[in-house]
Structure 1
Amino acid sequence: MLRIQDVLDWLKPVRAINPTVDGLVIGRPEVEVRGIAVTFMATQAAIEQAASRGANLLISHEGLFYSHRSDGSQLKEDPVVQLKLRRLEELGLAVIRYHDGIHRETPDGITAGLIEELGWQEAVCEYHPASAVLELPAMTLEELARMVKRKLNLPFVRFTGDPAMRCRKVGVLVGYRGGGDLAIPLLGEVDLIIAGEGPEWEAPEYVRDAVYQGKEKAMILLGHGPSEAPGMKRLARKLRAAFPSLPVHVIENEPLFHWIGQGEKP
């Protein structure tokens, strides 16, 4: 019999982290696992889909309560949180948060997942703890942005820089690592950064000034979820290998934002 605690024990040995947001958020560790669902964000829709596929354990990269460190206590009277918790109880669905551990794998499991999804494993020059540096066949910024959009099946991506600029050396920063503290020093090493998100007044504004000064720098922003979801798909593949007799499902989150343009498809 595989228990929730056994899954926790399998996840935890990556590295001891204290304090951590990882762990069992909802549920009891002694419960037998009948099926696992893996997702980037434990949205209401993801919870319902996990249960409909027969899973009684959901592993989510991000938290249930709309904040990185919140345990939900600050929103305990909120009707959205109350309904979410009630449905988890009704469905008998346990939730494990797995954020810190996967980011501390070597290489970072979320970064590696995005690179694998893009088919760029052979292009990696170096993995750093929070980033990766790749050397790709030269193509324009616009061509690269369109390729990334297509490979990740995204409704849109955003970029800053000259669309005709030719890019070869690329830095990858997943999730919220697109802020200036990480992205601006990395731009000294690469032509282009592909990131999840970050404050728009930091690295994107640095790129804007660099381009105005005649320097060839650019940045593509995928969104937080689209940059990290491939890493959770990678985790699901590892879970299938570790527990071959157990069904492991990937729950894809629907796009969070939608695009409106001037009569043009994204």
Structure 2
Amino acid sequence: MKITIQAMMEELMRPVGQLEHTVDRLLFGDLNTEVTGVVTAFMPTQYVIEQAVALGANLIISHEGPFFSHQDQEGVHADDPVYAAKKRLIRESGIAIFRWHDYIHRYKPDWITQGLVQAFGWEDAVIKHRPEAAVVQLPGSALRDIAVDIKERLGIPYVRIMGDPDQICARAGVLVGYRGGGGSVIPLMEQEALDLVVYGEGPEWESPEYVRDAVRQGRKKALIVIGHAESEVPGMNLLARNLQERYPDLQVHTVSEKPLFRVV
């Protein structure tokens, strides 16, 4: 079944309806172009674009934008050689890029969070979906064991933990992306009586310092920080699986980068 970029975008937006303010839009390409192959990715990095071209895809659906800022303010870095080279690659390749951030977070449940929960193997443990988090009830394991299991399931070289590694954690919150700030994590921990919060990233002087003080006071609280991209890639993989089921004749690929940082 043939489908244009515009038709695919409209179908993906339909469960949410029209958002008045959103960063989601076609950044490059023509809405009337027929989709012949799709790559989903956390961010259209130089590598992801190159791989999409090599795979013969003509559409990248990315959670984040290509130019290093949430608002995708094209032209802010116009004089920078890295920006210029990347934009030239996009233009010369003819590939289309669809930014898909706000709508997918507003699915019920949020598909980015749901993808991470599924990657952890915790789907059956979910007891509540909140707009910003999933709350899960686990059998109860030591913090260090949960962290190792998460690391292995995501195939990443490390995660960071805060709290007593031997603490038994059973009730946990899962937050993706930049939702690890104190404004989200601290009230969630108390409202849901959580032992553990797993999140992508957030200011280090907020949630981690709160947990440091909590542990000093004898309270059993813990964090696992896995990285922004690492927390959201599974959601984009969930999108890819959905698209492949919806359009079985279309080639749909996921392309992921290596973890952003290395520990030395």
- TM-score category of the 2 structures, normalised to the smaller one: over 0.9
Cross-structure match for 1:254: 258
Aligned to 2:259, the other structure's residue is in SS state coil
Query: Structure 1: how far apart are the matches of 2:15 and 2:206?
Result: 32
SS at match of 1:6: helix
Letter in 2 for 1:227: S
Distance in 2 (alpha carbons) for counterparts of 1:82 and 1:2: 31
- Residue ranges of structure 1 left out of the alignment (5+ in a row): 261-266
Aligned to 1:73: 75
Summarize the alignment of residues 100-139 of structure 1 with structure 2, pairs less than 5 Å apart.
100-139=102-141
Q: What residue number does 2:65 align with?
A: 63
Q: Structure 1 counterpart of 2:152, which letter?
A: R
Matched, 1:21 2:23: yes
Are 2:191 and 1:190 aligned?
A: no
Deviation at 1:257, TM superposition (A): 0.3
| % identity of equivalent residues | 48
Runs of 4 or more, structure 1, over 6 Å off, are none
Which of 91, 94, 97 matches 2:93?
A: 91
In the TM superposition, what is the alpha-carbon distance from 1:119 to its structure 2 partner? 1.1
Q: Which string of whole-angstrom CA distances, capped at 9 and with x for unpartnered residues, describes residues 37-89 of structure 1?
A: 00001100000001100100000000111000023221122111111111111
1:224 aligned onto 2:224: no
| Distance (whole Å) between structure 1 residues aligned to residue 145 and residue 111 of structure 2 | 27
Q: Output the aligned Cα RMSD.
A: 0.8
Alignment partners' CA distance in 2, 1:12 and 1:168: 36
* In structure 1, distance between residues paired with 2:41 and 2:226: 17
2:241 counterpart (237, 241, 246): 237
The count of aligned residue pairs is 260
Matched letter for residue 48 of structure 1? E
1:177 aligns with 2:179: yes
Q: TM-score normalised to the size of structure 2?
A: 0.97
- The corresponding residue for 1:263 is none
SS in structure 1 of the partner of residue 21 of structure 2: coil
What TM-score do you get using the length of structure 1 for normalisation?
0.96
Letter in 2 for 1:241: E
Equivalent in 147, 150, 166 of residue 149 of structure 2:
147
Structure 2 unaligned residues grouped into runs of 5+: none
How far does residue 14 in structure 1 lie from its aligned partner after superposition? 2.7
1:165 to 164, 167, 177: 167
CA distance in 2, matches of 1:102, 1:175: 13
CA distance in 1 between partners of 2:44 and 2:35 (Å)? 18
Instruction: Quote the offset at 1:6 in angstroms.
Output: 1.3
